[in-house]
Amino acid sequence: MASTSPVVSELISNDEIVVLQAQLGEWDNLNHLLVCAKSKSAVIIDPFDAKFWFDICLENGWELEQAWLTHSHWDHSKGIEECLELGGPNFQVILHEKELERGWNGPHTHLLTNSELSSHPLGIGKLTFQAHCTPGHTPGHLTFTGNGVVISGDCLFLGRCGRADLYGGDESKLRLSLRYLRDEISHIQDWMVLPGHQYKLEDGSNPTSLTVAELLINNLAIKAVDNDEDWNSLDFLSFEDSLAEKARRQRAMQS
């Protein structure tokens, strides 16, 4: 059976920014391309397939210049080496230095050093974003905000949050990160939240984006974050699966 090409959705297109989304790979990763409409410069977030995005940019007359990683798990960083090959010597790969704590040894050109629960500015073309260090899913997980979008990776999904039991994860830090993000985005209710994966909401709907206002109503983790009993009752912070067993072995090797 012939494979089906990923569907590319144009989420935003105006005089300032173009935002494209596509679901790639067997883990159903949501990749996001941000394009400065004025300079035609582009950045890909968590590239799963570099050639796919370089081809999209070539078709549209855009220059793919950077890749930003929310975190360094394999399914979010698979395309990095190819990005550097296709992008040439000036291509930039940016992630947080704390991802080295969980063993990241992949290629990169810049490591951010901002402290946990703080932000650092990043630019593409004439656009500026903030890279927030939101640990918990991984030590140096980044959430990117700016120009009408919140790109939350695996820290914050639309209806819940990422797991905290993988190697380098920390449930208490994840809870603090969710409080921090809630406070950071609560004043931008009409902005679009774009997660790293698509999961169904409690009502059975399965969107790939929500406004901040919609997320604050629907997200179980955000609603539970201030109450110990509610937080401890969440069933998606850890799982008994092969990834959990691998994480236990990794932690044992470090002890």
The SS3 call for residue 236 is: coil
Residue type, 253: M
CA-to-CA distance for 42 and 16, rounded, in angstroms? 12
Q: What is the pLDDT of residue 41?
A: 98
Give residue-wise pLDDT tens across range 124-148: 999 999 999 999 999 999 999 999 9
Q: What is the pLDDT of residue 34?
A: 99
Cα 97 to chain centroid, rounded: 16
CA-to-CA distance for 173 and 183, rounded, in angstroms? 15
Contact present, 37 and 63 (Cβ < 8 Å):
no
The phi, psi pair for 254, rounded to 5°, reads -90, -10
Convert 63-89 into a string of H (helix), E (strand) and C (coil): EEEEEECCCCCHHHHCCHHHHHHHHCC
Res. 254: pLDDT tops 80: no
Confidence band of 27 (pLDDT split at 50, 70, 90):
confident
CA-to-CA distance for 146 and 85, rounded, in angstroms? 28
Give residue-wise pLDDT tens across range 190-208: 999 999 999 999 999 999 9
Q: At what angle do helices 50-60 and 80-87 cross, to 10 degrees?
A: 40
Q: HSE on the CB side for 179, CA within 13 Å? A: 13
Nearest CA among 113, 114, 131 for reference residue 122: 131
Cα 152 to chain centroid, rounded: 4
Domains delineated in the chain: 8-254 (3.60.15.10)
Confidence band of 2 (pLDDT split at 50, 70, 90):
very low
Which tokens sit at 99? 């991802």
Nearest CA among 156, 59, 47, 26 for reference residue 91: 47
